[in-house]
Structure 1
Amino acid sequence: MNRITRVAAATAGAIAVPAALLAAAPAANADVDREGRYAGARYEFSADREGRGYEVSVDVDDAKPGSRWKIVLWHDGQRIVKTTRTADYEGDVELERLRPNTAGSDTFKVKITKVGAKKSVVRTITFR
């Protein structure tokens, strides 16, 4: 192998490894969703990296218009929201919060309860 071939092969190998690692790594602005059905409605809990923090949202869709929903949201074990919302005329309930990035991992947890229901749904999202 001549010198030019060896340099080209070494350069190609050096470029291929980081590219493979980048493909496997999550995107810097990764959006993480947890969704499902609960009490006759559809819910989505998501956290999206935004600059130096996160946009955290809770959506309840297809609920009975006028139904009431308790939402409790935690960030790293600290309760940041405790509210009761009423579904609008389309059966939607929305909650959004901006949160700072904290040292180490960031964990967001939500508890959604339809007022009058005996059970709740609890979901968690962790960024490492």
Structure 2
Amino acid sequence: MKGGIQHICLAEDDPDDYLFFSETLKEINSAIKLTWFQTCEELLTFLKTGSELPCLIVLDMNMPKMDGQTCLVSIKKELELSHIPVIILSTAGHLTTINTAYQAGAFKYYHKPGSIDEFRKIITEILTTPIQ
């Protein structure tokens, strides 16, 4: 991605995981804007306004109401949104879940880490992986 990642939308219902992600992101690159949504419905509403589309979406699979898989499919079927890379960061680690996410258009799939150091490694990798 030219110019690097400037804005990430994070769909994560767990406030602790949001805090880990946001604090680690700030530590690595405080210039990146992070917009947080606790439900997929909130994320989709924001994205459909089209006013401030992110460079990247990070999505949890285990979300209340609409799950991450349904959200991913909704994003990828919208012409105006389908170009935005979606990275899954979830505790859902079953191979079927991972394969289904990739088939639906996920760019990458990470199993949610258990430590801040592992969060740092994942976020660093997310920020340094070339995104088309």
State if a TM-score over 0.5 links the two structures: no
Name whichever structure is richer in helix by fraction: 2
Q: Tell me which of the two structures has the higher relative contact order, counting C-alpha pairs closer than 8 angstroms and 6 or more residues apart.
A: 2
TM-score by length of 2: 0.23
